[in-house]
Structure 1
Amino acid sequence: MAQQGGLRERKKRETRAALAEAALRLALEKGPDQVTVEEIAEAADVSVRTFFNYFPHKEHAILGRNPEHVDRALERVLNAPASESPLTTMWFIVQDVLRDFEEDGEMTRRGELIMSTPDLLYHLLHASIEDERLLTKALTERMGEPPGSLRPALIVSAAGTACRMAMELHKTVPGRPVRELLTEAFQLLAQGIDTAFGPDDQKGNS
C-alpha cells in the first residue's frame, strides 16, 4: 500500500510538472493572453478536467504554483523546535523555496515572463499575499500571540521581501549569488535594519 501511495504521489508531481512546463512553453511561444486551458491540457496529454485538479486557472499553471510548497512551509512553522526563533524558522522556509527555484530549469524565463506581464504579476502578488496570510496565522499560533499581532506578520512579510529582493539584486549584480544576498538580508533583519530609527527625536527639527 505504501508503495502504491508513493507511486500515486510521484504521478501527481509528474502531471503537475508537465502542465506547468506546457503552460510556460505555450505562454512564451504565443503570449500568456493567447493561451487556453484546453491547449495546455492537450500539450500535457491530459484532460481539461485533470488540469483543474491541479490548477484553478491557466495563470497559476504558467506561474508553476504548487500548494505543496505552502504545505511544507506550514508544517515547518508548526513543528519547529521550541528553541528556534521565528526568523530562523522563516530562514529555513525561504531556503526551501530557493532550492525549488534552483531546481527549476525554467526559473529565469518564467521570472522574465512574469515581470513583463502585468496580469501574471498580479496573480503572483495575490497568491503571495494569501501564502503570507496562512504563514502569519501559523506563526502567530506558534509564538503564542493573539490574532492580529503585528510581530508575526512583519516577520513573515520581511522574510518574503528578503527573498524577492535577493533574487532581484542578483539580476542587477550577477556576481553576487542569491544565497549570499539572502544571508545578508536576514542578518540585517536580525540586527535591525535601522537601529537609529527615531522620528520623535526629529520633531524639533521639522
Structure 2
Amino acid sequence: MGLRERKKAETRSALSWAAIRLTAERGFDNVRVEDIADAAGVSPRTFNNYFSSKAEAIVSRHLDRFHRAADELRARPDGEPLWESITEVALSQVEPGAEVLAHPIADRGAWVVGVRAMVAEPALQGEWLRAAARAEAEFAAAVAQRTGTDLEKDIYPHLVAAAVTAATNVAQAQFLRGDGTASMRDLLSEALVRITSGLPTP
C-alpha cells in the first residue's frame, strides 16, 4: 500500500472510530457528522468523501475487519489447515488496534452499555445488514480461493463464511451481555472451537 492509500485508510479508520466512540458515549441521535469530523480532525466535507452517512461510518469498521481477514486468509501459508488459518485471521481482528490504543476506554462498563445501545439502534439496522452481506461475500471469495472451490457452484465457501460470521456475531453479543470484563478474543476463540468440533452437545 502506497503512502496515499495508507493515509486514506487511516482517515477512514479515524472517522469510523470517532463515529463509534461518540455514538457509544452520547447516543446515535445526539451525534452529528460535524461532531465526527471534528473528533477525527478533518472537515465535514472530508467526511462526505468517505461516507454517505454517520450510520455507514459506524458500521464500516465491521466491514473493514472482514476485508482484512479475507486478505490475511489468502496470505496464510500454503498447506496450513483451513480452519487453523481461519482461526488465526479471525482472532487477529479482535486484537486491540491502533485506534483503540490511541483512545483508551476508561470505563469499560459504560462503554459496553453504550455499544450495546448503538448496536440495537433501529436507524443502523439496514446499514448493518448491508455491511454484513458484503463482508460475508468477501470472506466466502477468500475461502473459495483458498480451497479451490467454485464460488458460483459450490456451497462450501458460503457455508464457511456464514459460520465465521455467526461465530463473530455470537461472540460479540455475548460480550455485550456482560460488563466489559470478558475477553472478546476468548469468546470468539471458544465459538470457533465449538464450530470446528461439530457443535457437540455441552
The two structures have a TM-score, normalised by structure 1, of: 0.72
Gaps of 5+ in 1: 196-206
Contact 1:63 1:114 in 2 (8 A): no
Kindly report the root-mean-square deviation, in angstroms, between the aligned alpha carbons of the 2 structures. 3.3
2:43 partner letter: S
Select 2:72's aligned residue among 41, 54, 76: 76
TM-superposed CA distance for 1:71, in Å, is 3.8
Higher mean displacement: 89-98 or 47-56: 47-56
2:91 partner letter: Q
Matched-pair identity in %? 32
Q: How does 1:114-125 map to 2 (within 5 A)?
A: 114-125=118-129
What residue in structure 2 maps to residue 192 of structure 1?
198
Higher mean displacement: 167-176 or 137-146: 167-176
The two structures have a TM-score, normalised by structure 2, of: 0.73
What are the Cα deviations for residues 48-82 of structure 1, in whole angstroms up to 9, with x where unaligned?
Answer: 33113332321122345276534422222222222
Q: Distance in 2 between matches of 1:177 and 1:34?
A: 29
What residue in structure 1 maps to residue 57 of structure 2?
61
What residue in structure 2 maps to residue 37 of structure 1?
33
Q: Distance in 1 between matches of 2:40 and 2:99?
A: 20
Q: Distance in 1 between matches of 2:69 and 2:62?
A: 12
SS at 1:186's partner residue? helix
Select 1:135's aligned residue among 135, 139, 148: 139
Does residue 89 (structure 1) correspond to residue 73 (structure 2)? The answer is no
Q: Distance in 1 between matches of 2:32 and 2:178?
A: 36
Q: Distance in 2 between matches of 1:128 and 1:194?
A: 27
Paired residues, number = 191
Select 2:160's aligned residue among 155, 158, 176: 155
Contact 1:135 1:156 in 2 (8 A): yes
SS at 2:76's partner residue? coil
Q: Distance in 2 between matches of 1:101 and 1:157?
A: 24
1:122 partner letter: G
What are the Cα deviations for residues 125-175 of structure 1, in whole angstroms up to 9, with x where unaligned?
Answer: 320121111110221122111224212111111112112222322344567
Gaps of 5+ in 2: 106-110
Contact 2:115 2:176 in 1 (8 A): no
